[in-house]
Amino acid sequence: MDLFAKLPALRGELLLCRGCLAPASHGEAGLCSRCWEGLVPLPEDRCPRCALEHGEDRDCPEPTAWSLGTALWDYHGGRPPFGELLLPGIKAGERGWMRALLHRAEEVPLPEWDADLIVPAPTTPWRRLRRGFDLADAFARVLAVRLGTPRATVLRKTWRATSQTGRPESQRRRMPKKAVLLKGEVRAKRILLVDDVWTTGTTLLRCAQALQSGGAKEIRVLTLFRALRNS
């Protein structure tokens, strides 16, 4: 029998991975297991403050206002780079991917940090409205359950930036000091500041500065992804 005659039947059985377009028999949320393996931790020898690899003997060149910072996964991990696929997809409303990602965030090892409050980096209200969800806050909820620590949405973003993707580094770093305002009590508290993806760190910096202005005792940063180089 001619192979071509069988093709329509074959096509009906094959599911293609939405990440790498390879046939996917195992996986989750339309992505094959090989793609999910791209969810990899950050390399070991990185700076404990900015989570970049800039050598141990150099002072951290990144502008930070926190003592320690890390992420669960490397944004550029895997082939195709999985964070680069997943995050824009989730932000475009791919709820299945978000659920699958948060499910993994419920199980991966976390840094052994004590905190009094978990504070998500804020998004602008219009953006939350448009997307119908807030990934940073969803991650904060996961952490609140895992760590048994209260979550507090004490930050408000006032600055309406257009998407940071595709903008030059110099522009991304330009964000007014009052872009993030504190609207809650953080005095003498140890804060775990969380966000979805940490790229230039400008939003995190403004968040941390707002927390500092309110007298936070200690600030540490944990994000889902760290972009280890500019892309």
CB neighbours of residue 133 within 10 Å: 13
* Cα gap 167→188, rounded to integer Å: 37
Q: How far is the CB of 163 from Zn ion (least distance, A)?
A: 25
* Cα gap 122→25, rounded to integer Å: 38
Q: How far is the CB of 33 from Zn ion (least distance, A)?
A: 8
* Cα gap 40→6, rounded to integer Å: 39
Q: How far is the CB of 114 from Zn ion (least distance, A)?
A: 22
Largest CA distance in the chain: 77
Sheet holding 218-226, edge to edge: 68-74, 218-226, 190-198, 117-120
Measured from the CB atom, the residue of 68 and 181 that comes closer to Zn ion is 68
Measured from the CB atom, the residue of 58 and 187 that comes closer to Zn ion is 58
Q: How far is the CB of 46 from Zn ion (least distance, A)?
A: 8
With H, G, I as helix, E, B as strand and everything else as coil, classify residue 124.
coil
Residues that bind Zn ion (CB under 5 A): 17, 19-20, 32, 35, 47, 49-50, 60, 62
Measured from the CB atom, the residue of 35 and 192 that comes closer to Zn ion is 35
φ, ψ (nearest 5 deg) of residue 83: -65, -40
Measured from the CB atom, the residue of 80 and 93 that comes closer to Zn ion is 80
Q: How far is the CB of 20 from Zn ion (least distance, A)?
A: 3
Measured from the CB atom, the residue of 20 and 86 that comes closer to Zn ion is 20
